[in-house]
Amino acid sequence: MNQLDQLKNHTTVVADTGNFLQLAQFAPRDATTNPSLILKAVQSPDYAPLLKDTVAAHKGLVLDEIVDQVLVRFGLEILKVVPGRVSTEVDARLSFDKLANIARAKRIIGLYEAAGIGRERVLIKIASTWEGIQAAAELEREGIHTNLTLLFSFCQAVACGDNGIQLISPFVGRIYDWYKKSAGSAWDEAAQAGLNDPGVKSVTQIYNYFKKHDIKTEVMGASFRNVGQITALAGCDLLTISPDLLAQLQGTDAPLTAALDAQAAQKMDIPRVSFDEAGFRFALNQDAMATEKLAEGIRAFAVDSGKLDAMIESLLK
């Protein structure tokens, strides 16, 4: 068996792409998107007509409503290929507005439901700010499931677990990026690989904590830089992987075994913790990596959302 098939024996494999034409060859169960992936897709000749047609069909709507129509259109195409769920992201520019996140999420779910897709097949992606987590908690209570993204710290994960969030996406590769950049010339790639990779260690800590305390929130490692990060997290609930890395896994038959084990985690001595708003904000503030990467991620997604807006506006003229 190739490594991708072996991985599927331990972990639910998710494709991290807006390129739904690539999906079938990897047979993932779910798929995730974000503003950057959608922007990349619509700039391709393969998808430009989809953007043009969707905008033309909804010219009477305001801009943010047209954007949601485009995002859902991609989601609908993805759901024709994957048997499970698609994650569709709320505009990152709303990351610090609880009520706006809730309103946008409900509108996106409404578009899916109007197209005949049940809400059990959709995860609404929201940034893991305090406001985003509180918005997601309210959505979960109303039966709208969420995927909390841009997650870099243990306190973000704990707050999500305590608030009944369906799924979290800790960003392995971006954590790795920060520590590598911070270390500069002192960085030892070999010594920081595999189980010692700082992003892998972060997800492992979250996974073990959730399993120890029977927290139902699904843990989905995301943002991988190399295959070694993926294989070091085999056994995680889910892993969302780019097409390039899925192809690399598919192209090798090296042995792969589970690195994470829920039963083993239950035997670990891991104390239960919790964070109120003040405690959450202070814990996040004390984690320089998480503070910087969360802010950077929101800024980057906001920039790409603005670029998508501009593309749509050009088609409205």
Catalytically annotated residues: 125
Nearest of 93, 123, 129 to residue 108 by alpha carbon:
123
Task: Give me the sign of the Cα torsion angle 138, 140, 145, 148.
Answer: positive
Q: Which residue has the tokens 């690539």?
A: 22
Which residue type is seen at 205? Answer: Q
- Residue 273, C-beta contacts closer than 8 angstroms, at least 6 positions apart: 158
Q: Mind giving me the DSSP string for 182-241?
A: HHGGG--TTTTSGGG-HHHHHHHHHHHHHHHTT---EEEEB--SSHHHHHTTTTSSEEEE
Q: Which class for 151: exposed (0-12), middle (13-18), buried (19 or more C-beta within 10 A)? A: buried
Contact 145, 119 (CB under 8 A): yes
Q: Are 30 and 44 within 8 A, CB to CB?
A: no
Instruction: Give every CB contact of residue 52 below 8 A, 6+ residues apart in sequence.
Output: 315
